[in-house]
Amino acid sequence: MRPPVYADEFVAWLESQFPNAQTDLTRRIFYMLDNEPDLWPSTHSEIHPNPVTYAELVQKSVDFAGAIKGAAPKALVFGFASYGWNGFVNLQNAPDANNRDFLDFYLASMRTAEANAGKRLIDVLDVHWYPEAQGGGRRITEGGTSAAEVEARLQAPRSLWDSSYTETSWITQWSTQGPIRLIPRLLQKIATHYPGTKLSISEYNYGAGGDISGGIAQADVLGIFGREGLFASNLWLLGSSNAYLYGAFAMYRNYDGAGAKFGDTSVSAGTSAVDRSSVYASTLAGSNNVVVVVLNKQSTALRAGITLKHRASLATADMYTLTAANANPTRQASLTKVATNAFSYVMPARSVSTLVFRP
């Protein structure tokens, strides 16, 4: 029988094997404190048969984060990797909840722990988000593609930010009684209880990875994550068919098949009808190009008038699309301007388009 390996020993070994783990931004090692502790009594009943308490999870976070920081002082530590909404609210009905919001309690406790330890222990608040939104009585993560499920899936990303949108779910019916606004809600908790903490969604999926509706939702989510200031995210695959999820990533990261990507500086962009369309814009360092990703959530084509405020005169736009006909980005005919830095574009039905505007 092998002797036990302690957490700090494991971290020290990783840091020794990857000496650039905290300086190489493209291959940095992050440390996450376990996974979905709010569900331990059901997922790990052999070793944790009883419900996790507020006090227990805070103490475990302090102990293990302290051990990690002792072995790797510059490491970023993520906690607490909650499974979902009821974990955020009361740690899945923890016996010591006493009507206290768990995320508020956790963040405030970590702030106190920093003061006691003389160093920050938790750098990133991490949660999981598998939407509870329903269409036609079915949850969108089940992957169905009926008309009601598709419409619910296309609108569900709005629950990440939109104060005017209320999805159909048990969360909005019984908990929020209105819009979820997940990212602004969590960022406000951070600002109130532990400023400076970053935010991560390390598991999420909107279902139907093999359908254009899943691709549009994924592209919308990526744009929202960037615009709303999320620090990190990770797609968790739920099924074997995921071509449109990969296609959505490619519309930002490899739309031309040769590594061309969305810019490194976000640009303010908006649409007059968030229920029908979304738009995300960026610029590239050292270039006058503007890269824009636009989404048409409708089942029919949608004309878009695009006006860009830019110091350069933009004359043309390369165009790539993701549609029901092809799960990979497809090059289309270029657009030409109709006025100074103004373009008219007919978005295909249910599509993602990447437009690269050039002088």
Active site positions, annotated: 36
Q: Which residues pair with 304 in a beta bridge?
A: 345
How far from the centroid of its chain's Cα atoms is residue 50's Cα?
A: 31
CA distance linking residue 197 with residue 32, whole number of Å:
14
How far from the centroid of its chain's Cα atoms is residue 319's Cα?
A: 25
**Residue 5 CB neighbours (<10 A):** 9
**Token duo for residue 104:** 């508020």
Q: Find tokens 């990212």 and name the residue.
A: 183
**Which ranges of the chain does DSSP label H, i.e. alpha helix?**
7-17, 40-43, 54-71, 85-90, 102-117, 147-155, 170, 182-193, 212-228, 243-253
CA distance linking residue 352 with residue 212, whole number of Å:
9
CB 350 within 8 A of CB 297: yes
**CA 173 → CA 84, 127, 167, 214, distances in Å?**
16, 21, 9, 25
CA distance linking residue 59 with residue 157, whole number of Å:
34
**Residue 153 CB neighbours (<10 A):** 28
- Per-residue b/e over 8-36, b at no fewer than 16 CB within 10 Å? beebbeebeeeeebbeeeeeebbbbbebb
147 burial type by CB count under 10 A (0-12 exposed, 13-18 middle, 19+ buried): exposed
**Token duo for residue 63:** 């102990």
CA distance linking residue 254 with residue 258, whole number of Å:
6
